[in-house]
Structure 1
């Protein structure tokens, strides 16, 4: 749409041209017009760029080259170069790749290309070039590159077993690199049978059939037996316990896998062969059963953990044993289990807090030790940081803002090439690439510049980047950036009519979508409040929204109306418990109802949240409640208690039963 000023200029220009044409003795040729309007040309270039990206993703080198040739001056030229080269990475010369890295040195896409090349060099066992490039990989956030890095060092004769044990804890993500590392260490004698058996157990625990197969072969067993133990445990159990140590371990993997579907059959199988297993093997078997029982909050879980004494527990097993001990109120066991965790896991704020609570439950000098642990994390504005703060006698409050940002401070952000590339990606709805470019630039910024970048994100309507960027500061704060409340003119009347806590609603929205209005999840949840189609239809019917169709979920007003009403429904079904209602919003009322049914009496809200079986929902509930506490402090302008918000979760209840 033209502005009135431009429209007047256009009329005046046209009048002058007409007068000149009437007085001229020869006709004046019309001014040449572009073949394609600038906006249309830009859209066409962006469409080609998206086709180029897809060709690269499909390893279509010819297609990528063709599209790239038609984009000589695209706004994101570095990615045109990347997508042209990426499908040819296996055949490209080292000099060509180095030229790309040199030309785009210091950029996010250069580091991405170095990541890709390191994987290729590792696959080819080209350790000379790998060792040259690896120290230049800035992010170093790829587990397979890390595995190749350890493998290269092992090939040179270095002992890397300790580093490998710390790294190799997630078999589903191993790929070729980490599988090759394990084989290399086994052949070099750096990994012994105990290491390989630990990998076999871990693969079984995490349902990683391929790694289980490979570990079994390295141990001298058949990969078929290992695969059966993971995928068809009933068949493996029917075959029997076997005679060798490896046979026993494969049998115990099958016991743990069977416990995921039938604890009763797993217990029968374990007890049937108890006399043929060593005490430690038997304890390992009980640990597998205990883990499965814990993840369903079975009342038998604690008894199984008692029988697992002497087993070498995995990190997941240690965490679940701690959670079940919390539910039991057995603080002595909570302390012992957390203290048995590896140092890196024990230092996590979750276990720092609960170890402090366990120490505080004791008498004497333990109180001072507990306070030291709380103080260690009390400055972290997170779920456990807030709880630790309350243990030190303070409540959550909003820090005073620093001096206001000036236009001169924000201007360099608008001129930053990386941030401009990020904006372009966001305009193309390529959030992954946009976020990568944005975060890459943040590494270089001071605290003051981070606040300026966050404000630049706000000005461009990219609130998720504003929140993420502002959260990185440690000495200067702007909580209007960290905890924004957009669309309040729409949300406030709905929330007020329903009698909902506005801080809780904003806390949930912040976790659900980070204020991305058109957010869409992999399972179909849409909009600001991430409403599922079936949920939207159910709520619309309940509130009398007769003209509802699924497409309305992306409408801001409708999304807030349906999401807020659904929050009100789950809160009523949870008898007013925000932790339980938040769990229901994320995982569904049926699952939340099942978790509640496991309670024998009132449970501290923090313990309930920590022992939610689904990792996603567990994290979600903690984040929503921590967010809500911050919002309440911001809205009410006074300190707030997360503990009070968590309250206690009670069994049963007469709330409405949602589907």
Structure 2
């Protein structure tokens, strides 16, 4: 999470007042088969050794992993023990795949013994990285055909290397590569090898290779940048744009004509990106200069997306339209934002029929932009009809092996492995089976799995499961006492922690509302909680009390704007105010949210407001307007606040 610092986020939450679809407080008489699943599982000495084994395997400590695995000869999770014993042999201490590993026989035996399991698919992922590094394309292709999850960009780049090595047309391989080479953070060694190979084979131009390298440079991966695209003629401009975009903008106006038309275009794109991230109004001008020169296809994903945002901030609908039309199709299609804003740009031009076509493409999506698109089409935003499942269908889920395994892994606080087992069990389930699994998760208090599982349905839905309301007896009185909107509070918790009680972030935030320790002390003092100690932050009621009061404080400090307050809760009130102060006039809340400079906070605000709208619909049984919740954000002079 950011939460007053830079950082990473951690999970989510949801709810409001009773309504037609609300979870009503009532005693649930669980079957006896569930009672043991609700009781805290005892962690044995063997479990502790298993946890230690897992940590040794994460570090690729071969000796320690072998030693600990040997001590777990009869452990019930024998597949994981074997995996954690073998995996360190496949990677070096830095996490890179080893081509010279001697574990071939062990890996093949493991894949045969545990075929069809979640952990076997994880092992196959690891093994593909080894085979790819070896350039053993025959065995690589055979194993890749069995790889089910297939979500590893590094593996995908090895797939394309295999195609190229076996004589596939370089232009065809390059076409496929453009939908993969989107985010340099996930490239790995294989993608860094693939791009020069494609340039050498004539599938990509030297300019395209440089553009991919420049995208890495923009993110600070300088060594990767040179591996991908070689020396970049505008490397100095990129460096200046990253550190001082205002100066880069002024300087390049003077020296830009020294460069080729292509290099001028991409330089203006980079400058525009970093100006836009500073919310500098000159970003629109920089991007218009780039647009006049062309070469949209050579802009990085970040530059393409911030070109749209710069246009939105400046209310330059022509630039918004041109930016989206010039996007890499893979970039444009991965986020419904660009479909929605393209429709808005068409509408601004008076092309209402075409705008409707754009909105209709995403109107069935239950997300921030799906909701806004429905409002543009004059349709209501409400929770869909609830599909109920039978007790028999729910009971079936209690005996699914993946769920049983997941629950014990959760008891050991091994959420990564637990989620893998739970999600593997969901494969190929019908909507009703997913709802039964979600309801089972609710009955055993795994609310993050409830949300994750119910979120997967396509045609039949239960939004009381997508947007559940646990701990209502604790939260509702707190919210009522301070007049805090309960749907918004639940929408924020759903995003913050996914209702995981012991959730913690990398910067120290904890609990259901992910409260920072210093913030907790501040709020406790403000509300007169004189006996507060830091240990109390782990208590559910205390966490909800402090988090709710802080949320209400930032809301009051930011003139009642849920957009600004949600951003403040994640990134700090000071940043939220700074972003508002840089407005040159009132803007829609949706535009403000889309142009928040921090990736995490931007996603966070959109999710919290979308969650809140659905929570209100579920709780009140009425259609909701997301646009009204977003409101209009107007600039305001800087004000002082003592809020942390």
- Compute the TM-score of the two structures, normalised by the length of structure 1: 0.86
Given that 2:581 and 2:638 are in contact with CA atoms closer than 8 Å, whether structure 1 keeps it comes out as no
Write the mapping of 1:118-517 to structure 2, written as runs, cut at 5 A: 118-158=128-168, 159=170, 160-215=173-228, 217=230, 221=231, 246=232, 249=233, 252-309=234-291, 310-312=293-295, 313-347=299-333, 348-363=335-350, 366-406=351-391, 408-517=392-501
Given that 2:587 and 2:633 are in contact with CA atoms closer than 8 Å, whether structure 1 keeps it comes out as yes
Tell me how far apart the structure 1 counterparts of residues 474 and 258 of structure 2 sit (CA, whole Å). 68
Tell me how far apart the structure 2 counterparts of residues 263 and 361 of structure 1 sit (CA, whole Å). 30
Tell me how far apart the structure 1 counterparts of residues 496 and 50 of structure 2 sit (CA, whole Å). 30
Assess, with a 3 A threshold, how the Cα gap between structure 1 residues 498 and 193 changes in structure 2: closer, same or farther: same
- Residues 558-599 of structure 1: per-residue CA shift (max 9 Å, x gap): 111110111111101110000011000001111101100011
Tell me how far apart the structure 2 counterparts of residues 587 and 93 of structure 1 sit (CA, whole Å). 46
Tell me how far apart the structure 2 counterparts of residues 634 and 402 of structure 1 sit (CA, whole Å). 14
Assess, with a 3 A threshold, how the Cα gap between structure 1 residues 403 and 215 changes in structure 2: closer, same or farther: closer
Tell me how far apart the structure 2 counterparts of residues 323 and 102 of structure 1 sit (CA, whole Å). 50
Counterpart secondary structure, 2:343: helix
Given that 2:389 and 2:435 are in contact with CA atoms closer than 8 Å, whether structure 1 keeps it comes out as no
Quote how far apart the aligned CAs of 1:617 are: 0.5
Mean CA deviation greater in 139-148 or 179-188: 179-188
Counterpart secondary structure, 2:145: helix
Alignment match, 1:621: 605
Given that 2:183 and 2:301 are in contact with CA atoms closer than 8 Å, whether structure 1 keeps it comes out as no
Given that 2:60 and 2:88 are in contact with CA atoms closer than 8 Å, whether structure 1 keeps it comes out as yes
Tell me how far apart the structure 1 counterparts of residues 453 and 204 of structure 2 sit (CA, whole Å). 42
Given that 2:501 and 2:511 are in contact with CA atoms closer than 8 Å, whether structure 1 keeps it comes out as yes
Quote how far apart the aligned CAs of 1:504 are: 0.5
Alignment match, 1:237: none
Quote how far apart the aligned CAs of 1:344 are: 2.7
Q: Report whether the alignment pairs 1:91 with 2:101.
A: yes
Given that 1:281 and 1:311 are in contact with CA atoms closer than 8 Å, whether structure 2 keeps it comes out as no
Q: Which runs of 4+ in 1 moved over 4 A?
A: 653-656
- Residues 120-151 of structure 1: per-residue CA shift (max 9 Å, x gap): 11111111211111111111111111111111
Quote how far apart the aligned CAs of 1:282 are: 2.1
User: What are structure 1's unaligned runs of at least 5 residues?
Assistant: 1-38, 222-245
Given that 1:205 and 1:253 are in contact with CA atoms closer than 8 Å, whether structure 2 keeps it comes out as no
Assess, with a 3 A threshold, how the Cα gap between structure 1 residues 186 and 358 changes in structure 2: closer, same or farther: closer
Assess, with a 3 A threshold, how the Cα gap between structure 1 residues 361 and 175 changes in structure 2: closer, same or farther: same
Assess, with a 3 A threshold, how the Cα gap between structure 1 residues 216 and 480 changes in structure 2: closer, same or farther: closer
Given that 1:572 and 1:656 are in contact with CA atoms closer than 8 Å, whether structure 2 keeps it comes out as no
Assess, with a 3 A threshold, how the Cα gap between structure 1 residues 285 and 183 changes in structure 2: closer, same or farther: closer
Of 514, 517, 520, the residue aligned with 1:536 is 520
Quote how far apart the aligned CAs of 1:517 are: 1.0
Given that 1:625 and 1:645 are in contact with CA atoms closer than 8 Å, whether structure 2 keeps it comes out as yes
Of 92, 95, 105, the residue aligned with 2:115 is 105
Alignment match, 1:240: none
Tell me how far apart the structure 2 counterparts of residues 634 and 328 of structure 1 sit (CA, whole Å). 36
Quote how far apart the aligned CAs of 1:653 are: 6.3
The structure with the largest alpha-carbon Rg is 1
- Residues 372-431 of structure 1: per-residue CA shift (max 9 Å, x gap): 22122111111001111111112221222223421x212221211111111111111011
Mean CA deviation greater in 382-391 or 534-543: 534-543
Quote how far apart the aligned CAs of 1:216 are: 5.4
Tell me how far apart the structure 1 counterparts of residues 573 and 428 of structure 2 sit (CA, whole Å). 44
Given that 1:575 and 1:653 are in contact with CA atoms closer than 8 Å, whether structure 2 keeps it comes out as no
Quote how far apart the aligned CAs of 1:346 are: 2.5
Aligned residues, how many?
A: 586
Given that 2:246 and 2:275 are in contact with CA atoms closer than 8 Å, whether structure 1 keeps it comes out as no
Q: Report whether the alignment pairs 1:79 with 2:62.
A: no
User: What are structure 2's unaligned runs of at least 5 residues?
Assistant: 1-40, 91-99
Assess, with a 3 A threshold, how the Cα gap between structure 1 residues 525 and 573 changes in structure 2: closer, same or farther: same
Q: Which has the higher contact order (CA 8 A, sep 6+)?
A: 2
Quote how far apart the aligned CAs of 1:202 are: 1.5
Given that 1:68 and 1:84 are in contact with CA atoms closer than 8 Å, whether structure 2 keeps it comes out as yes
